[in-house]
Amino acid sequence: MSARPLLPQVVALLLAVMLAVLALGFVVVLLTPTPVPPPMTIDAALAALADDAPAEGDATLRRRIAAQPPAGPSADLVVQAASTRLGLPADAVRAVWLRPVAGAPVVEVLATDAAVADPRAQVDVPALIADRRVALPPFELARRTADGRWLTVGPRQPLFSGWRLRLLAGSLLGALAVLPVAWFAARRLTRPVRALAEAAAALDLHGRGPPAAVEGPAEVQAAAQAFNAMRERIRAQANERTRMVAAVAHDLRTPLTGLRVRAESVPSPLRERMVADIRRMEAMIAQVVDFARGEEAAPARERIDLVPLLREAADAAREAGGEVALDLPPQAPLAADPVMLRRAVDNLLDNAVRYGRCAQVHLANDAAQWSIVIDDQGPGVPEAELPLLGDPFRRLEASRSRATGGIGLGLSIARTVATLHGGQLAFANRASGGLRAILRLPAD
C-alpha cells in the first residue's frame, strides 16, 4: 500500500475508471455499423393518411394533426405521386425529406425488348415511386384537412432505437469489465481505513485493545498514530484511576480494624449493630479491591473444567443460605483463569440469591462458546435499565436497598471477567418472571 496522500490516489482511480469506460465505449462505436435510416414507401404513407386509418398509425409510422405543414427540404416527387393517388391539388399536399437529398432523383429503366428502337426510355418517376415496392428515404407526408389543419404521417423515431441500444449495451459492458478492477483498487485503498475502524471498535474505556497498524496513505497513517497515542493516554489514565481506588480501599482497612476493636468494648446491643456496619463496610472495600484488581490484571489462562467450578460455587452459595439448582453436562473444558472465573460466578450467584430468592444454573454449548445461564425468581429489571446492569457503582431499583449489602460492583466485576476472556455478559427478563444472566465464554 502506497504511503502517498489519499486524495491523489482516489482522483487517479476515478480518472482511470472513466477513461477505461470511455475507451471501451469508443471501441463499441467503431465496431457498430453506421445506422441506416428506415426506408418508406408512398403506399404505406398514403394508407396512414386515409380517414379510416387508426389514429396511432402502424408499427413504423405515426399520425399527428398540426396547424402547420411539416418543415424541411421539399420532396416534390413525393408530392406529385401523393396528390395523384389522393386526387388532391398539389397545394393541398406537403412532403419533406427528413434527411437532405441532393438533387431530384432520376429513375431510368433499360428495356430488354429488342424491338424497342431506343433501349433507354425515360420513365414516369412519380408513377414509379408511388408503387408500393419502391423504397424511399424517410420523409413526412401531410394533407390539408377540411378545417385547414394538416394531417401528417412520418416514421416513428423511438428514443431507444437499435443503434442507441447497442451503444448503451457497450457502455454497460465496459463498466462491468472495469468494475472488478475498480473494486479491487478501492478495497486496497480503504483497507487501512477499515483496519483503523476495527481497532477503534475494539478499544474500551480502559485502553485495552490492539493498536492500529500504521500503514496506508499519509492521512490514514497520521490518524493511526494519533489513535495509538490516544490509546496509550486512556490506558495510563485508567490504570492510574484503578490504582488510586485500590489504594484508598486498602488504606481504609486499617481504621476499620481499629473501629472493630473499639466496638468490642461498647455495651450490647449497640456493639452488634456497630460490628455489623463494620463488616458491611469491609465487604464493600473487598468488592472495590476485587474490581480494581480485575481492571488491571490479565487472565492467567489454563485448561479447566467448568463443571467442578460451578459445583463448588453452588456449594458455597448453599452454605451461605442460598438455594441453587444445577443443570450441567458431564464436562465443559475451556481455557480460562479459574480465580477470575470463580469470582464472576460467585457474584452472579450472589446477585440471583440476594434479589431473586434462588438461582437455577444451566450450562449450554454451541461449539463456539460456553454459556453459563443463571435464572432467578425475583421481580426482574425494567427493560430500559437492562443495558445499565454491570455498570460500576450502579444499583438500579429501589427494592435493592443497601440493607441487602453491596455497592453495585458485583455484576461489573463479572462483566470485566467476561470481557477479559473474550466473552460477554448479557441480561434479560424471563417470560415467567425473574432475571436471566448469561455469561458467554469462548470455547477455545
What is the value of pTM for the model shown? 0.47
186 backbone dihedrals φ, ψ, rounded to 5°: -65, -40
Residue with cell 409510422: 61
pLDDT tens for the chain, 444 residues long, are 566 676 777 777 778 877 877 777 777 667 766 666 677 888 888 888 887 666 555 667 888 888 999 988 888 888 888 888 888 898 899 999 886 555 545 444 444 444 444 444 454 555 556 555 677 888 889 999 888 899 998 887 766 666 667 777 777 777 787 778 777 777 777 788 888 888 888 777 666 778 888 887 777 888 888 888 888 888 888 777 777 777 777 777 778 788 877 887 878 888 888 888 787 777 777 767 766 666 556 677 889 999 999 999 999 899 888 899 999 999 889 999 888 899 899 989 988 998 888 899 999 888 788 999 999 988 888 888 888 887 776 666 544 444 555 566 788 888 888 888 888 999 999 888 889 999 999 886
All three cell numbers of 373, joined, read 445461564
Phi and psi for 233 in degrees, rounded to 5? Answer: -65, -45
Nearest Cα to 150, choosing from 63, 25, 84? 63
Residues 6+ apart with CB under 8 A from 315: none
Residue 322: name the closest of 290, 360, 280, 284 by CA. 360
Instruction: Count CA atoms within 13 Å of residue 97 on its CB side.
Output: 15
Q: State the amino acid at position 319 in one-letter form.
A: E
DSSP assignment, residue 7?
Answer: H
**pLDDT for the residue 111:** 43
User: What domains can be seen in the chain, in order of their start residue?
Assistant: 6-33+162-199 (no CATH), 42-155 (no CATH), 203-296 (1.10.287), 299-442 (3.30.565.10)
Provide the residue type at 92 as one letter.
A
Confidence at residue 183, expressed as pLDDT on a 0 to 100 scale = 79
Is omega for the bond preceding 269 within 30 degrees of 0, making it cis? yes
The residue with cell 473501629 is: 259
Do 230 and 196 meet the contact criterion of CB atoms below 8 Å apart?
A: no
- Specify the 3-state DSSP secondary structure of 363: strand
The cell for 244 is 488510586
**Residue 422 carries which DSSP code?**
T
Relative orientation angle of helices 270-296 and 218-263, to the nearest 10 degrees: 160
What's the grid cell of residue 290?
Answer: 476485587
- Per-residue model confidence (pLDDT) at position 54: 66
